């Protein structure tokens, strides 16, 4: 016996009209879009919470991309002054024999986010607060006010060029080379005794009859001269030697006096030293540049396979000066494989208690001390070196 299947309950024919006074499902859904079968309409509280959540997400998203009034310091890249940059030796020397080294002498840097032209957002600031190798600071404590990114870049580039010249001078004189220096007047202070007496372009050769070896020599002598003293400045103007009388002025908060002349040094190097480095500025690599030049010009392999990092400005007298961001430089050094770090003695207070595991620190105050430390480390005698201590 066969059976008939039940009639299809669906139909394309219009259904009967709803009874008067009753609302159709379609009308109800149009009026109440959430009133679908099996789905309850959300409560007013749920809707309020949902809107609040979305508003919070949008607010946080906006804050995450908006610029903040902070700057973030972080460990920057390091560079081996005995190595190469894009296939070119970082330090190239011609005019004297050079020698290969098996060690590394790494200059260290600090990456700074924030400031004119490159503001950081809240997400970067929060990351800086969480990461112990980074430091977050108000932007005005890191960058001068009312200074453009272009001005900052120009200053940083000029400082790098100057540090390379002074490092070259200090390294060559440390090795016994004679390096003639010419001091030229750039401008005079309007309120100084040199105004109207010294002219831009004057070559300053002597002070009170004594030849000047460098700008540091000039400054050192002025520390022994009282303000208001008439001194004789020997200059060469347009090829003609001339003696000028200049009355010195006071230096606020310091002993000695000043001439009121901005002086530029130029060097007649007996050896041609070219330093190839990009995207790094400032003066703090001077010590490591000088050590790199010394090691390249020395037959002995003074670094002797060791990875030595360091930092510090370098002046014409061979003095190692303090720098900023020493903690970030320590972290960058150990990250890139250094086992020793040469730190300026003036930065020791910032070093104590912040030396990463696996890194040893030697404090240095002069290029001679930095070179001696490099040799001791290369000879496996680093334990004899002075280090930074509390107090």
- Among the three residues 224, 252, 267, which one is the final residue of a domain in this structure? 267
CATH code at position 345: 3.30.230.10
Same domain, 279 and 378: yes
Asked whether residue 378 falls in the same domain as residue 303, the answer is yes
In a domain, 8, yes or no: no
Q: What is the pLDDT of residues 317-361, one digit of tens each?
A: 999 999 999 999 999 999 999 999 999 999 999 999 999 999 999
Q: pLDDT category, 56, cuts 50, 70, 90? A: low
Q: Residue 250: inside a domain, yes or no? A: yes
Give the pLDDT confidence of 165-218 residue by residue, as tens digits: 999 999 999 999 999 999 999 999 999 999 999 999 999 999 999 999 888 899
Residues 266-278: pLDDT tens digits?
999 999 999 999 8
State the Rg of the chain over Cα.
35
Are 101 and 201 contained in the same domain?
Answer: no
Same domain, 276 and 379: yes
Per-position DSSP letters for 205-250, written without gaps between them:
EEETTEEP--HHHHHHHHTTS-TT-EEEEEEEETTEEEEEEEE-EE
- Is residue 27 domain-resident? no
CA distance 76 to 277: 14
* Whether 286 and 227 share a structural domain: no
Which of the listed residues 239, 267, 295 is the one where a domain comes to its end?
267
What pLDDT sits at residue 140? 77
Residues 257 and 299 in one domain: no
- The distance between the two most distant Cα atoms of the chain, rounded to a whole number of Å, is 137
C-alpha span between 68 and 83 (Å, rounded):
38
pLDDT band at 10 (very low <50, low <70, confident <90, very high): very low
Domain that holds residue 208: 181-267
In a domain, residue 128? The reply is no
Confidence of residue 66 (pLDDT cuts 50, 70, 90): very low
pLDDT at 129: 81
> Helix, strand or coil for residue 134?
coil
Nearest by Cα to 213 from 170, 167, 164, 163: 170
Establish if 247 belongs to a structural domain.
yes
Please provide the average confidence, as pLDDT, over all residues in the chain. Answer: 85
Identify whether residues 168 and 186 lie together within a single domain: no
pLDDT > 90? residue 49: no
Would 64 be classed as within a structural domain? no
pLDDT at 11 over 50: no
pLDDT band at 8; cut points 50, 70, 90:
very low
C-alpha–C-alpha distance, residues 163 and 182, integer Å: 17
Residue 390: inside a domain, yes or no?
no
Specify the pTM.
0.76
Tell me, yes or no, whether 26 lies in a domain.
Answer: no
Residues 263 and 275 in one domain: no
Boundary residue ending a domain (237, 267, 297): 267
Same domain, 283 and 379: yes
**Is residue 94 domain-shared with residue 236, that is, in the same domain?**
no
Number of domains the chain contains:
2
CATH number, domain of 190, equals 2.30.42.10
Whether 194 and 214 share a structural domain: yes
Same domain for 247 and 288, yes or no, is no
Q: pLDDT tens for residues 304-322?
A: 999 999 999 999 999 999 9
């Amino acid at each position: 016996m066969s059976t008939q299947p039940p009639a299809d309950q669906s139909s394309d024919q219009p259904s009967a009209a709803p009874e008067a006074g009753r609302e159709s499902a379609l009308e109800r859904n149009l009026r109440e879009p959430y009133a679908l079968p099996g789905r309850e309409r959300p409560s007013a509280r749920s809707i309020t919470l949902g809107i609040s959540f979305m508003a919070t997400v949008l607010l946080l998203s906006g804050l995450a991309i908006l610029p903040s009034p902070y700057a973030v310091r972080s460990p920057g890249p390091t560079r081996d002054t005995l190595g190469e940059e894009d296939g070119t030796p970082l330090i190239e020397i011609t005019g004297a024999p050079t020698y290969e080294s098996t060690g590394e002498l790494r200059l260290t840097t600090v990456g700074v986010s924030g400031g004119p032209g490159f503001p950081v957002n809240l997400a970067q600031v929060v990351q800086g607060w969480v990461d112990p190798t980074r430091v977050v600071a108000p932007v005005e404590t890191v960058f001068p006010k009312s200074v453009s990114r272009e001005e900052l870049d120009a200053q940083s580039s000029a400082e790098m060029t100057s540090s390379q010249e002074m490092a070259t001078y200090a390294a060559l004189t440390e090795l016994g080379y004679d390096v003639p220096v010419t001091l030229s007047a750039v401008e005079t202070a309007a309120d100084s005794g040199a105004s109207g007496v010294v002219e831009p372009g004057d070559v300053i050769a002597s002070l009170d009859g004594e030849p000047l070896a460098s700008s540091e020599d000039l400054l050192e002598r002025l520390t022994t001269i009282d303000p208001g003293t008439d001194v004789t400045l020997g200059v060469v103007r347009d090829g003609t030697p001339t003696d000028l009388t200049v009355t010195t002025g006071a230096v606020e908060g310091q002993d000695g006096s000043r001439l009121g002349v901005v002086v530029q040094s130029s060097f007649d190097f007996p050896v041609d030293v070219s330093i190839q480095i990009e995207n790094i500025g400032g003066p703090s690599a001077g010590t490591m540049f000088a050590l790199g030049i010394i090691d390249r010009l020395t037959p002995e392999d003074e670094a002797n396979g060791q990875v030595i990092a360091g930092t510090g400005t370098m002046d014409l007298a061979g003095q190692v000066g303090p720098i900023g961001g020493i903690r970030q430089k320590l972290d960058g050094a150990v990250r890139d494989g250094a086992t020793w770090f040469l730190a300026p003695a003036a930065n020791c207070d910032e070093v104590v208690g912040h030396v990463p595991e696996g890194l040893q620190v030697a404090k240095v105050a002069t290029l001679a001390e930095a070179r001696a430390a490099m040799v001791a480390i290369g000879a496996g005698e680093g334990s004899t070196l002075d280090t930074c201590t509390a107090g």
